[in-house]
Amino acid sequence: MKNKITSRSEDYSKWYNDIVSEAGLAESSDVRGCMVIKPYGFSIWELMKAELDKKFKETGHENAYFPLFVPKSLFEAEEKNAEGFAKECAVVTHYRLKNDPNKKGKLIVDPESKLEEELIVRPTSEAIIWKTYKKWIQSYRDLPILINQWANVVRWEMRTRLFLRTSEFLWQEGHTAHASKEEAVDETKLINDIYSDFAENFMAMPVIKGYKSESERFAGAEETLCIEALMQDGKALQAGTSHFLGQNFAKAFDVKYADKTGKLDYVWATSWGVSTRLMGALIMSHSDDTGLVLPPLLAPIQVIIIPLFKPKENVDEIEGKTTEIFQLLKSSGIRAKIDDRENVSLGFKLNDSEIKGIPMRIIIGQKEIDDDKFDVFFRHSLKKKSSDFNSLFELFSSSINSIQNEMISQSKLRLKKNTHEVDSYDKFKELISSQSGFIIAGWDGTNETEEAIKKETKATIRCIPELTDPQGINCIYSGKPARYKVIFSKSY
């Protein structure tokens, strides 16, 4: 059984592609830059969705659905937002095809079906949503509006990578409306905390929270909060963003509310989102040269049970034990599966479960039953623990949490080991060019410095963890007093 995964040291980028492909997560489609999310990959995304959706609802948010298309005149209403996305918009210009008079069986766009106004396939939905909110909001009684939408969006990308950057992707986008700036700011933080908790506790991927610098902010936002994760190759990955939009969209769409005294003011807004990009982050956080590694809480199959039948053995007994442990696991909510495929070898099954990152595996054969000794294989550590049959359920059950916690600890350790504070540009450059990782350093707060560092080292400001003056620290680049301590890194 030859492992088809390229090793990380050989070619990190190919390693990633191999895992996405061999684990059956996604593949490229015939549509430029768009992916097919395969069933196994999609089932991981479904687990992510379910948990995030629960967290949103617990904090008072409701789901709704807004149109896929945005008329151009609405799209351009908030100028900064429009400018930010204009260069990557798929545009619908016609609404009908007709038979090609010159080629039988072929179709052409019917020129008579040209739309009076072009429709933009949503790259994000602020425009269409705020146009709708205008109808919904008259008074403070109509606020807050706390809405989320699970949807597909399209941003035309020239260089794409499965999950990490695709022209169409799936995401959730929250869009909230508030009667005060403070409430909107609090919402932005609440959501960024939800993202951070989810990343750490479910994805086992600790993140650094912070604010984006002006140049990295969402187009149309006053402030962008984000969570930044660190991949195994030392590059950062922006895993979620939560934007305080001020009154920009309310002004663009003239959305005002009357307060208790009847005074009119523009409504305050936030928007926030995570996408199928999280799949890329999950893959790159934990996987190894054997294949995918999944934290149990996001594993579609947490335990794979492989019955092993050899000639002249007691098939009924093996099947009985297999079913017994499967039922026990299932009835207590553990996602278990029996791999009883007849047309593939044991070696194939073992390899398959490892490539797919199934957290725990057990083989049930005559020898194991006779010896009352069963080996549970743990994917994250590649180690085994033995157990008698009666203790098996307890071992599986307790290991869900212990594996999850071990993976969180490992990731935290990696994050810590790869986060360095520097006080000189020389050290900065040395680190960035060798191991990369997160580099904490003083920044004078200017665009010029940010640009220069980016140009010279390819590192960008991933986030500003605290918007406070770091007393007595200088900017590593300009030597001037630092305005903030920030996190630099190369990034995806």
Name the amino acid, one letter, at 16: Y
What letter would DSSP give residue 435? T
Stretch that binds a copy of itself, among 85-93, 319-327, 461-469, 481-489 (CB under 8 A): 85-93
For 436, left (φ over 0), alpha (ψ -120 to 50), or beta? Answer: left
Rg (CA), the chain: 26
* Sign of torsion over alpha carbons 285, 289, 294, 295: negative
Residue 76 binds a copy of itself (CB under 8 A): yes
Residue 27 binds a copy of itself (CB under 8 A): yes
- The closest alpha carbon to 488, from 439, 449, 453, belongs to 439
Residue 252 binds a copy of itself (CB under 8 A): no
Residue 349 binds a copy of itself (CB under 8 A): no
The CB-of-176 to a copy of itself minimum distance in angstroms stands at 12
Residue 1 binds a copy of itself (CB under 8 A): no
Query: Which residue has 């079906």 as its token pair?
Result: 113
- Find the binder of a copy of itself among 8, 22, 69, 324 (CB under 8 A): 69
- Find the binder of a copy of itself among 17, 55, 68, 200 (CB under 8 A): 68
CA dist., res. 218 & res. 283, Å (int) = 25
Q: Which residues contact 333 (CB under 8 A, 6 or more apart)?
A: none
The CB-of-122 to a copy of itself minimum distance in angstroms stands at 10
* Residue 78, SS3 per DSSP: coil
- Find the binder of a copy of itself among 98, 367, 384, 416 (CB under 8 A): 98
Interface map 164-183 toward a copy of itself (x if CB under 8 A): ----x-x-------------
**Nearest CB to a copy of itself, comparing residues 126 and 450:** 126
Alpha-carbon distances, residue 15 vs 78, 238, 239, 285 (angstroms):
41, 20, 20, 13
- Residue 438 has φ and ψ, to the nearest 5°, of -85, 130
- Find the binder of a copy of itself among 4, 14, 64, 370 (CB under 8 A): 64
CA angle 425, 431, 432 (to 5 degrees): 85
Residue 66 binds a copy of itself (CB under 8 A): yes
The CB-of-428 to a copy of itself minimum distance in angstroms stands at 36
Contact at 8 Å (CB) between 170 and 150? Answer: yes
CA dist., res. 55 & res. 53, Å (int) = 5
Residue 330 binds a copy of itself (CB under 8 A): no
- Find the binder of a copy of itself among 2, 58, 102, 105 (CB under 8 A): 105
Residue 425 binds a copy of itself (CB under 8 A): no
**Nearest CB to a copy of itself, comparing residues 67 and 479:** 67
- Find the binder of a copy of itself among 11, 62, 317, 448 (CB under 8 A): 62
CA dihedral 291, 294, 298, 303 (to 10 degrees): 90
**Nearest CB to a copy of itself, comparing residues 64 and 467:** 64
Residue 93 binds a copy of itself (CB under 8 A): yes
CA angle 111, 115, 116 (to 5 degrees): 120
Residue 120 binds a copy of itself (CB under 8 A): yes
Tokens in use for 210? 């912070």
Residue 88 binds a copy of itself (CB under 8 A): yes
Query: Which residue has 């941003």 as its token pair?
Result: 155
Residue 97 binds a copy of itself (CB under 8 A): yes
**Nearest CB to a copy of itself, comparing residues 343 and 434:** 343
- The closest alpha carbon to 26, from 286, 280, 284, belongs to 280
Residues in the chain: 492
Residue 130 binds a copy of itself (CB under 8 A): no
CA dist., res. 416 & res. 117, Å (int) = 52
- Find the binder of a copy of itself among 36, 264, 382, 467 (CB under 8 A): 36
Stretch that binds a copy of itself, among 151-159, 309-317, 318-326, 404-412 (CB under 8 A): 151-159
CA dist., res. 270 & res. 188, Å (int) = 6
Please report, as ranges, the residues that interact with a copy of itself according to CB under 8 A. Answer: 27, 29-31, 34-39, 42-43, 46, 62-72, 74-76, 79, 82, 86-99, 105-107, 109, 118-121, 128, 131-132, 135, 141, 147, 151-152, 154, 156, 168, 170, 343
